[in-house]
Amino acid sequence: MKAICFYFQIHQPFRLKRYRFFDIGNDHYYYDDFANDDIMSRIAHRSYIPAAESLLRMIEETGGKFRCALSVTGTALEQFEQYVPEFIDLLKKLADTGKVEFLAETYAHSLASLTDPEEFAAQVKAHDEKIYQLFGVRPKVLRNTELIFCDEMAGQIYDMGYKGCITEGAKHILGWKSPNYVYSSAGCPKLKLLLKNSKLSDDISFRFSNTEWDSYPLTADKYIGWIADTPAEEQIINLFMNLETFGEMQPRETGIFQFLEALPRFAAERGIDFWTPSEAISKLKPVAELSVLHPISWADEARDTSAWLGNQLQNEAFSKLYSVAERVRLTEDRRLKQDWNYLQASDHFYYMSTKHMADGAVHSHFSPYETPFQAFTNYMNVLADFIVRVEEQYPLSIENEELNALLTTIRNQAREIEALNKEAASMRLDIEHLNEEHALREPKPAEAPAAAKPAEAPKKAKKASAKKPGRPRKATKE
């Protein structure tokens, strides 16, 4: 039996407005609301909404045999709630089918996993809570930002409660191996890995409408034939892509929606199933351990992190941002924490990329800036104002050692408070049990001794009065 594991990514950042040097210290609102509203609404109606409707029809028409996974960032969900609430309703309908799995990821689509494990864990937890709040499900499989993964992250991901992680089937990692198996991580053998089949995924994402492609036009029958022709022992074909592939990157006019909806029919003819990532992990055993010494991603030909941290501009902005991470975690200022989330989005660093050739075209396509330097300057102006606000609460003159000591004290106090709360709760239960036992032991009103009859009282009184008091008897010697 062979199966297809479809996963679709949905992410949009909060884009920054033009923020000049003279705005620092004077303007604490950083976002281009008009651009965010316009982009979210346009992509939602061209891509997200019709694609979600297609997925619903595929599930209904196959009686639930078609299944897939979605990963929606917290920043995207916030903007859908604000600008396109009808898409949230569609996502709820998909969740209600029980055939769509929602994956865990960083709330802000950040690069925190590369530098700050504590922030990474906090963001994933916040994202899980958002998914549960909106859709009533708890993610079981993790998809890190841009499929970033390495051995060093594996143990933390497993300890956070995820049995599986999806990442890129990078050639320099796989070598002669195929991505069409379940693997385990060398960094944590209990963590299972699902690897993207880049060739088959990119055939849809990037080559579908390319008239110069030797396989153009791509039909559903032909595509399923390629999957069916893979070796019989290769049981899982992981097709990972952005949902905006459908309607945005590949316009409706190309026939992309008809192609998508035709896939289940031809798959059924060839005996191919559709599984969610959780199903694939539970049904298949790892065939081998896979070692990923350096972080990989699904971006560019290099499949590394150079798309976001490949030049001095990006690294300067990245280190400056996370230099205040400890201080931001101390604050109770909700607005400051919100800005912290939005400024961590990997997109801000992606816009600063100076890559050229084929990759450069992709980078410039997504960037709202004319040049990488303009993206860097605008971001650093915003970041400068943000750091001023952080410093107002926790001055940078405080050394990291002092700050860490303060954090340790706060955490210890939190643990002590938690322990005392548990002890108090236990004592309350003991008191309740004692009260219940005491209530059971007390005699009931019906069982109380009967009162003396009125007729007997005078007789006792008469006998008592008849006795004369005598002299006290002398003590006798023994």
Catalytic residues: 146
Alpha-carbon span 356 to 436, nearest angstrom: 77
Burial 327-351 (b: 16+ CB within 10 A, else e): bbeebeeeebeebbbbbbbbbbbbb
Report d(CA 237, CA 7) in Å as an integer: 11
242 - beta bridge partners?
9
Distances (CA, A) of 177 to 13, 173, 422: 35, 9, 51
Which tokens hold the place of 178? 């195929």
Tokens of 276: 């969610």
Closest CA to 346 of 44, 78, 48, 73: 73
- With residue 5 as reference, give the H or E element that holds it: strand 2-10
- Closest by CA to 327, choosing from 384, 385, 380, 402, is 402
Instruction: Give the relative orientation of helices 220-228 and 198-205 as an angle to the nearest 10 degrees.
Output: 180
Residue closest to 308 by CA, chosen among 383, 366, 250: 366
How would you label 43-66 residue by residue, b for 16+ Cβ within 10 Å and e otherwise? Answer: bbebbbbbbbebbbebbeebeeeb
Handedness of CA 453, 456, 461, 464 (dihedral sign): negative
Strand partners, 9: 71, 242
Contact 180, 234 (CB under 8 A): yes
Could you tell me if 13 and 345 are in contact, meaning their C-beta atoms sit under 8 angstroms apart?
yes
Closest CA to 256 of 212, 303, 209: 209
The phi, psi pair for 300, rounded to 5°, reads: 60, 180
Structural contact between residues 348 and 314, judged by C-beta atoms closer than 8 angstroms: no
Longest dimension (CA), the chain: 135
CA 351, CA 366: separation in Å to the nearest integer?
A: 8
| 3-state class percentages of the chain: helix first, strand second, coil last, to nearest 5 | 55, 15, 35
Q: How far apart are CA 147 and CA 143, in angstroms?
A: 6
Tokens encoding 281: 């992990």
